[in-house]
């Protein structure tokens, strides 16, 4: 397996992040550097200029510490706006109430709050410094209560870039650094906001230096952009090293109507509206609700007809319309591309997000679908990455789309599972049916004796629907191995086929209940150091699952087998 990752052969000549040069603060004032940047050489006698016109140190055997940088001066605009978003309601109430009754105390309080927000933005810009060192990223902030966060570069899990409409208007971006903490948690650094070019440079430098500390290749120089701000000076072949795998077609936004979560968007909006109205009415909400009840009692027939019309409108128009709109806002112009040895996923209309995943940390992938999506043969593609855990949004490589197109992109970006899945024993079918039907059937039987007949009738419906659900759950079960990757699949309402490379497997875990032991079944969990940590082959034959694990990792399983199992 190459150091580029389990899915890709090594490619010569791939450049990455770089050793920095000297620099100064963005507002024109000098900022002390640790260590200070070298003096500039005579014009035309040295390498390309680094940040702020200083040359990178090409003679150093390893990357040196960069100078300390401030955030963009435009933080004076974005920081107060961020504070205002959190306190917009009380400030507006104070302004409206103070103006209506001309209360100078309320108006003065609102003015003081606005001034405090502006001063907070000024303080943030003036005191915050960040510096990429040889082994860590330092973030220092504070004037009276000073804080200093040091994030080891080798512990960095990911560097994400996002920008909301205000940031894009000002040419800024937010850089979020996620790193593994020593105690098994996570520590994060956030730089809000830096110039968009500086954000891309930081991402490349941090990931490259992390790779260098983990045994990757040497760093390449980082230069300055035309504006004099810190920015990438890409190697000559860097443009050719970017490959776009997928750009979301406009027709894919309509796959949102196959997702129950997006179809429920109008009801979520309606619930939010009711909550806001209730808070606005305050103590009058109870009286208002009682008055509405009296009015409904007088016009019961008309009210039922209106309610039926509103419900039909929501189901036929609002649900798919809201689903497409919210889906488009989230996944607008979704793009998957390769940049060097990383995969980059970009998406979003209002807030544009750019997530970078190192290919050498990708240990597999997941194909996810639901019953509605299966009617159109649509699937989602997610990466199984070390360090991300269950963070579904960061691991997404493709939204819902035709399986053939998703698998074609998967073939180019990673590698598909080329084997077949083994069906589980017939006993697993009866277990799936029992678990889907029995709880509701038992509840219906009890309700027939202790509750009105209509209650039992209502409970019979999910019991009957449990039959096709149990059959579908059984058909979804399977596990297999193609010699390079292992795959397990399960689920119906949310079916997941997980594929992991053999090298990612760190253990096997068998679980058996009393009922499973009676019919010779077991849940086999493939333990991996990525994604959710483990993926289960549910209700697999116990003997067959042991043989399967032994065939995949014989050295790991052999010590736990007796002589009969080894000979078999």
Where along the chain do its domains lie? 73-213, 244-270+318-416, 427-472
The predicted structure's pLDDT at residue 56: 44
pLDDT digits (tens, 9 = 90+) for 137-164: 999 988 888 889 999 998 888 889 999 9
pLDDT reported for residue 301: 60
What DSSP string describes 326-341?
HHHHHHTT-EEEEETT
**Predicted pLDDT of residue 539:** 96
At residue 180, φ and ψ (nearest 5 deg) are -75, 130
Cα–Cα nearest to 223, from 21, 63, 14, 15:
21
| Region of poorest pLDDT, from 15-19, 103-107, 256-260, 524-528 | 15-19
pTM of structure: 0.74
Cβ atoms < 10 Å from Cβ of 13: 11
Average pLDDT over residues 2-13: 45
Q: What confidence score (pLDDT) does residue 438 get?
A: 95
The winner for highest mean pLDDT among 15-24, 107-116, 292-301, 550-559 is 550-559
pLDDT digits (tens, 9 = 90+) for 395-428: 899 999 999 999 999 999 999 999 999 999 999 9
The pLDDT, as a whole number, for residue 49 is 38
Query: For 254, left (φ over 0), alpha (ψ -120 to 50), or beta?
Result: alpha
Instruction: State the pLDDT at residue 163.
Output: 92
pLDDT of residue 305: 72
Residue 258 has pLDDT above 60, yes or no: yes
Q: What is the pLDDT of residue 109?
A: 80
Give the pLDDT band of residue 1 (cuts 50, 70, 90): very low
Q: Which two tokens stand for residue 535?
A: 């993926």
For residue 188, give every residue at least 6 positions away whose Cβ sits within 8 Å of its Cβ, in sequence order, or none: 176, 177, 178, 179
Compute the average pLDDT of residues 286-301.
59
pLDDT of residue 555: 92
Residue 530: per-residue pLDDT: 80
Of the candidate ranges 23-32, 110-119, 296-305, 441-450, the one whose mean pLDDT is the lowest: 23-32
DSSP result, 310-327: HHHHIIIIIHHHHHHHHH
Give the pLDDT mean for 328-337. 95
Bigger pLDDT: 121 vs 475: 475
Instruction: Please report the pLDDT score of residue 232 as a whole number.
Output: 42
Least confident range of 68-72, 366-370, 559-563: 559-563
What is the share, in percent, of the chain residues with pLDDT greater than 70? Answer: 74
Q: Which of 383-392, 403-412, 544-553 has the lowest mean pLDDT?
A: 383-392
Q: Is the pLDDT of residue 223 over 70?
A: no
According to CATH, what is the number of the domain 73-213? 2.30.29
pLDDT class for 62, splitting at 50, 70, 90? low
Helix (H, G, I), strand (E, B) or coil at 21: strand
Q: What is the pLDDT of residue 86?
A: 77
**Phi, psi (degrees; rounded to nearest 5) at 524:** -100, 120
């Amino acid at each position: 397996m190459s150091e580029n990752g389990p899915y890709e052969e090594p490619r010569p000549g791939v450049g990455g992040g770089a050793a920095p040069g000297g620099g100064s603060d963005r507002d024109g004032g000098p900022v002390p550097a640790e260590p200070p940047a070298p003096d500039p050489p005579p014009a035309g006698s040295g390498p390309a200029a680094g940040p702020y016109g200083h040359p990178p140190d090409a003679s150093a055997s390893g990357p040196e510490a960069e100078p300390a940088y401030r955030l963009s001066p435009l933080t004076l605009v974005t920081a107060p706006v961020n504070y205002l978003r959190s306190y917009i309601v009380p400030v507006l109430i104070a302004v409206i109430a103070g103006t209506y009754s001309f209360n100078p105390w309320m108006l003065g309080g609102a003015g003081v709050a606005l001034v405090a927000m502006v001063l907070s933005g000024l303080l943030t810009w003036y005191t915050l410094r960040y510096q990429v060192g040889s082994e860590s990223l330092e973030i220092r902030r504070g004037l009276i209560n000073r804080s200093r966060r040091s994030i080891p570069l080798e512990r960095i899990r990911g560097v994400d870039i996002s920008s909301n409409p205000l940031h894009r208007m000002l040419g800024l971006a937010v850089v979020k650094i996620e790193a593994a903490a020593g105690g098994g948690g996570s520590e994060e650094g956030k730089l809000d906001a830096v110039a968009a070019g500086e954000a891309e440079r930081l991402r490349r430098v941090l990931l490259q230096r992390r790779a260098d500390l983990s045994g990757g290749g040497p760093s390449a120089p980082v230069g300055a952009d035309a504006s004099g701000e810190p920015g990438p000076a890409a190697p000559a072949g860097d443009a050719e090293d970017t490959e776009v795998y997928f750009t979301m077609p406009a027709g894919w936004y309509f796959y949102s109507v196959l997702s129950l979560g997006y179809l429920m968007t109008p009801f979520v909006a309606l619930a939010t509206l009711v909550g806001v109205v209730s808070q606005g009415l305050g103590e009058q909400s109870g009286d208002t609700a009682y008055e509405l009840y009296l009015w409904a009692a007088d016009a019961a027939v008309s009210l039922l007809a209106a309610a039926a019309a509103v419900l039909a409108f929501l189901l036929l128009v609002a649900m798919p319309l809201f689903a497409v709109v919210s889906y488009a806002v989230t996944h607008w112009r979704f793009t998957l591309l390769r940049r060097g040895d990383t995969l980059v996923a970009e998406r979003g209309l209002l807030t544009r997000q750019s997530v970078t995943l190192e290919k050498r940390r990708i240990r597999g992938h997941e194909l996810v679908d639901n019953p509605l999506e299966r009617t159109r043969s649509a699937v989602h593609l997610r990466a199984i990455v070390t360090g991300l855990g269950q963070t579904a949004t960061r691991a997404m490589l493709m939204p819902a789309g035709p399986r053939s197109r998703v698998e074609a992109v998967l073939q180019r970006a990673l590698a598909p599972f080329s084997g077949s899945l083994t069906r589980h024993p017939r006993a697993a079918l009866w277990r799936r049916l029992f678990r889907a039907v029995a709880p509701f059937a038992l509840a219906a039987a009890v309700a027939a004796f202790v509750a009105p007949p209509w209650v039992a009738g209502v409970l019979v419906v999910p019991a009957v629907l449990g039959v096709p659900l149990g059959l579908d759950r059984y058909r979804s079960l399977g596990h297999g191995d193609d010699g390079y990757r292992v795959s397990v699949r399960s689920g119906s309402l949310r079916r997941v086929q997980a594929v992991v490379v053999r090298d990612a497997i760190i253990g096997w875990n068998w679980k058996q209940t009393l009922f499973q032991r009676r019919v010779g079944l077991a849940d086999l969990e493939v333990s991996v150091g990525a994604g959710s940590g483990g993926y289960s082959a549910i209700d697999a034959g116990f003997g067959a699952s042991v043989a399967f694990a032994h065939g995949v990792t014989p050295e790991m399983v052999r010590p736990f087998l007796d002589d009969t199992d080894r000979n078999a």
